[in-house]
């Protein structure tokens, strides 16, 4: 090993430490917000930590990248050592799951159940289920948007006035009306109902939701 190899090693180590320092600083700014609360829920016990670590590793295809991110999360105080231990163990499981899924392509059997384990067979089923879920979510978002507009007309108020009365930001109400919000929280919906001076039960007591329920089932 010559001097240039040593310099390359030290340079790479310095870049790694600088990257960790920069990422930790950025994560510290996010601590205490939605990121921390979400991660706390996803890693509240060992089983959740294992599953979450495996899922993230399958998604990003790198357990090393997840480990580096976890170091930054611990340094910033968003996660503790116990939570990250479960995620690291889960990342090792996620690494092997990818190879295991690919190995299922070699299954040769006349059994329908075993044949469904092959990626080319179960992938279309998963894709179809995903499309159906998207269609249902879109239908629900459309029904909620139409119901809010209908109630605003009945109450003779504008959407902007509703945002003020319900203490919900104008951008959030606009996203709901324009069906840009994929997941309307129950707290937000409760505030909108309070602004309209109705209950959540009254909000969903409409033919459009009854028809939607019939379409789903």
Closest CA to 67 of 84, 46, 44, 55: 84
- Going through 16-72 in order, the beta strands assigned E by DSSP cover none
Q: Are 77 and 116 in contact (CB under 8 A)?
A: no
**Cα separation, 79 vs 70, whole angstroms:** 8
Each residue's pLDDT tens digit, 162-210 = 888 888 888 888 888 887 776 677 788 888 888 888 888 888 887 767 6
Question: What is the C-alpha to C-alpha distance for residues 154 and 151, in angstroms, rounded to an integer?
Answer: 5
Q: What is the pTM of this model?
A: 0.44
All structural domains of the chain, each given as residue ranges with its CATH number in brackets, are 3-104 (no CATH), 114-216 (1.10.260.40)
Kindly report the backbone phi and psi dihedral angles of residue 76, in degrees, each rounded to the nearest multiple of 5, phi listed first: -85, -5
Per-residue pLDDT of the chain (217 residues; tens, 9 = 90+): 678 777 888 888 788 777 766 766 666 666 556 667 777 788 888 888 888 888 888 777 777 777 777 877 777 777 788 888 888 888 888 888 767 766 666 666 666 666 666 666 666 777 777 666 666 666 777 888 888 888 888 889 888 888 888 888 888 888 888 877 766 777 888 888 888 888 888 888 877 676 655 544 4
């Amino acid at each position: 090993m010559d001097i240039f190899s040593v310099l390359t090693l030290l340079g790479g180590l310095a870049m790694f430490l600088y990257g960790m320092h920069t990422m930790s600083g950025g994560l510290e700014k996010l601590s205490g917000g939605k990121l921390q609360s979400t991660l706390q829920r996803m890693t509240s016990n060992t089983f959740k930590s294992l599953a979450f670590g495996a899922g993230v590793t399958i998604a990003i295809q790198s357990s090393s990248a997840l480990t580096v991110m976890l170091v930054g999360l611990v340094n910033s105080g968003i996660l503790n050592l116990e939570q990250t231990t479960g995620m690291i163990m889960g990342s090792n499981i996620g690494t092997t799951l990818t190879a295991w899924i690919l190995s299922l392509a070699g299954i040769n059997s006349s059994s329908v159940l075993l044949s469904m384990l092959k990626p080319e067979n179960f992938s279309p089923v998963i894709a179809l289920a995903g499309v159906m879920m998207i269609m249902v979510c879109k239908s629900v978002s459309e029904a909620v948007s139409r119901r809010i507009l209908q109630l605003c007309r009945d109450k003779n108020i504008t959407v902007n006035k509703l945002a003020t009365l319900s203490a919900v930001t104008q951008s959030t109400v606009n996203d709901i009306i324009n069906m840009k919000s994929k997941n309307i929280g129950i707290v937000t919906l409760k505030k909108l109902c309070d602004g309209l001076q109705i209950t959540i039960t009254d909000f969903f007591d409409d033919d459009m939701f009854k028809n939607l329920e019939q379409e789903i089932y």
